[in-house]
Amino acid sequence: MSPIRTFIAGLITASIAGPAFAQCLQPAERPSFDVRALQSQLMVLALTCNREDDYNRFVTEHRGVLGSVYTDVQRHFRRAGGQRALDNYITNTANIHSQAGISQGSLFCSNQQTLFPAAILARTRDQLASLSQERQIRHAYEPAQCGTTTPASARAPRAERAAARPAPRPATPRS
């Protein structure tokens, strides 16, 4: 292939891969999204269960981590959708946590009573992210992880096609 064709092929590949890369979640960004989900859950818990003092304490004690996490999330959305996508993410995250509270009814506050103490005791972004994962705090945004391969389920149709092909006929001896 000539150098110009190689260059053009590279540009085409980059133009196809670029948007997909922009939309995916970098491995280092995942903990920040986990912490943002946790913070949203705590905010809903504070408003629903009259625990505003606990929420204010959480925000005060984790001000640095929360600021850094928000910057990470902003940076991701600058790459993947812009300000409107960031605003939608924040709104949708609060909405799913609010809906979860509504669906649990009067049990919501008692079901979540240990979340504030655990969150306040956590000291780092990674500890807060781990708490979010342990408590299975829901996310409103689940893009693909960057650098991951296509899931087997997405490859299954191709494998099924290969399995459905007739087996090659054995060679018959010629006389």
Higher-scoring residue by pLDDT: 151, 84: 84
Domain assignment present for 50: yes
**How many Å apart are CA 94 and CA 97, to the nearest integer?**
5
Residue 155 has pLDDT above 60, yes or no: no
User: Would 55 be classed as within a structural domain?
Assistant: yes
pLDDT at 172: 55
Domain contains 152: no
In one letter, which amino acid is 1? M
Q: Tokens 């009259």 — which residue?
A: 50
Whether the per-residue pLDDT at 137 is higher than 90: the answer is yes
Q: What is the mean pLDDT of residues 131-144?
A: 91
The Cα 90–Cα 55 span in angstroms is 17
Looking at the structure of the chain, the number of domains it has is 1
Q: Which of 26-35, 61-70, 151-160 shows the lowest per-residue confidence on average (mean pLDDT)?
A: 151-160
pLDDT at 163 over 50: no
| Residue 175 pLDDT class (50, 70, 90 cuts) | low
Q: Is the dihedral of CA 156, 158, 161, 163 positive or negative?
A: negative
Identify whether 128 is part of a domain. yes
Instruction: Please say whether the beta carbons of 120 and 54 come within 8 A.
Output: yes
Asked whether residue 153 is assigned to any structural domain, the reply reads no
In a domain, 82, yes or no: yes
In-domain check, residue 18: no
Q: What is the pTM of this model?
A: 0.71
> For the chain, what's the residue count?
175
Q: Write out the residue range of the structural domain in which residue 113 sits.
A: 29-147
In a domain, 7, yes or no: no
